[in-house]
Structure 1
Amino acid sequence: MSERPGAGRAIQTRRLKPVPASRDRKQSDLLTGAVGFLLIIKLAVESWRLHGIGPFHKSFYAACVFSLLFAFFVWVVRSATAPAAAMGGVICMDLLLRQRDGFDAQNSAIVSLILLFILTFAATRFGRSRKESLGVAERRTGRCASQVIANLGAAGLLAATGSQGTAISTLGLAACVAALAEATADTVSSEIGQALAGTRFGATILITSGRAVPPGTDGGISLAGTFAGILAAALVVMVSPFAYTFGPALCIFSGALAGLIFDSVLGATVERKGWLNNDLVNFASTLLAAAVAWAAHALLLPITSTQL
């Protein structure tokens, strides 16, 4: 979320990371190794559990094919590097294995994941030349594995919590959707805000002080970017299994917004101080979004008795 007021001319504002390069790399590697390992182990355990129930349902193989095609497509369009796309395929499979007998696209977060990809892909390419002139554009090779895990890792870990039809399964799915909604909102808000720098609604201020800051500044927010992020989060929730249940959907949307605000606050504080890098900040924000949605929906669950 960032733009510079009055930046109508091409300005070279090549972003300098406040986190030292060695620490930045170590933190990203730690996140990739730890969460990536857990995601792969989770996929293996869930697959083994399904096999223990009986022969794999044909939908299991369909889920495998879909996840491979999804990863391949993400790589082909250069939305992510090859390792990042492969990790995206693992997370996709984790989402699809929520069901005991294979997968059920209408009862999982897979549609929300697809919409996340569409929205973030479009937002990243929106105003690309403008963002390149400011030095804040995403690399043309796409996002790396640590970025994918930072944004989607929490959702993948929560996707298949508990057995279908149980309260914990419903809460896990709600938390998963909230994490996806927050990740979408964060990326869309940043990309749209940067693309609209210098416009009436593109001025960027630091969330903690209200002071004007250059585009790409950690913790910077703009009206245009914030509005776009909120709309993106709402769309992700609207295509989830909770779309037609107002109370749970509101809990998930609230969690996503809490995570979005938390992301900016962390960016303006611990990231600007060089304590945490962007990947850890993004991962922490998705976790907070998931925790808020889980807690809020847990309070609501006895009232709504909605179990998916």
Structure 2
Amino acid sequence: MQMQIKFLVLAVFLLTGMALSVYFKKLTVVAALNGVLCALLVYAGAGFTGIALMTTFFITGTLATSWKVDLKRSLKVAEENKGQRKTSQVLANAGVAAIAGLMSLIFETGQTLWPVLIAAAFSAATADTLASELGTVYGKRFCNILTFKPDLRGLDGVISIEGTLIGLMGSALIAYIYAIGFSFNTSFIIVVISGTMGNLTDSFLGAWLERKGIIKNDAVNFLNTLFAAASAALMWYL
């Protein structure tokens, strides 16, 4: 009975979230359906804490994207389609976490690892989104992450001290929620560090490959979260 109640609560929460995200044009219908699928896999790997992590990423990212949008438009760095996410963007940000959840269903061993990887992936995704969206607004000096020479705000691979610190706070927020759901131990530090590393990797790939048109932003975001999860796994085993 308790299990049935949990699934009922989960179903109501996810369906409500899907309906609201479509109604307020934050996700396309197909993107929302894929978001629910990702959420179910995340739940398999990290329970309701995983859902809380994914929800936190989505809410903070949505708010950050909408923050001072007129200024971003004037700087020509605002999200297209008023920030409405497509399926590719959902999978780019939540795909690695969903894969970790799927692995938890396939493999009986490492059950304490999968939640850490899920948290690391969302830590990187949150850090990247906040650093990009708010760093553009509050950054003072912008430089290319490859050369550290001054560069234009909003371009791929351009960072600022303010944006990097905001991203660090995003990683810490995800790590804090993870720790509430599981425990305050070394995993908290792992999630913060791996999320920050993923965020910086995102900027590195943006300056190196995305500017050249070799890969696009969705691929950069997916690799960002993948690198964060891989880094977390390495630190966890060490």
Pair in the same fold by TM > 0.5: yes
Give matches, 1:68-107, under 5 Å. 68-98=15-45, 104-105=47-48
- The alpha carbon displacement at 1:219 in A equals 0.4
Within 2, Cα distance between the matches of 1:88 and 1:255?
A: 23
- Computing the radius of gyration from Cα coordinates, the structure with the larger value is 1
SS in structure 2 at match of 1:143: coil
* Structure 1 unmatched runs, 5+: 1-55, 300-308
Check conservation: 2:126, 2:170, Cα contact below 8 A: yes
- The alpha carbon displacement at 1:215 in A equals 2.2
SS in structure 2 at match of 1:109: helix
1:126 to 67, 72, 89: 67
Corresponding position of 1:210:
148
Letter in 1 for 2:206: G
SS in structure 2 at match of 1:276: coil
Deviation string, structure 1 residues 111-169 (Cα, Å, up to 9, x no partner): 11121122111111111100011111113161111111111111111125336xx6512
2:185 to 246, 259, 262: 246
1:153 to 82, 95, 100: 95
Establish whether residue 233 from structure 1 lines up as the match of residue 175 from structure 2: no
Give the structure-2-normalised TM-score.
0.90
Corresponding position of 1:220:
158
Within 1, Cα distance between the matches of 2:117 and 2:44?
A: 16
Check conservation: 1:161, 1:168, Cα contact below 8 A: no
Letter in 1 for 2:61: T
Letter in 2 for 1:227: L
2:122 to 180, 198, 202: 180
Check conservation: 1:267, 1:281, Cα contact below 8 A: yes
Within 1, Cα distance between the matches of 2:11 and 2:100?
A: 19
Check conservation: 1:237, 1:243, Cα contact below 8 A: no
Letter in 2 for 1:292: S
Corresponding position of 2:86:
144
Identity level (%): 31
Corresponding position of 1:168:
110
Corresponding position of 1:263:
202
Aligned-residue CA RMSD (Å): 2.1
* Greater length-normalized contact order (CA 8 Å, ≥ 6 residues apart): 1
* Structure 2 unmatched runs, 5+: none
Give matches, 1:60-75, under 5 Å. 60-75=7-22
Corresponding position of 1:306:
none
- The alpha carbon displacement at 1:65 in A equals 2.5
Q: How many residues align?
A: 234
Letter in 1 for 2:101: A
Letter in 1 for 2:42: L
Check conservation: 1:161, 1:173, Cα contact below 8 A: no
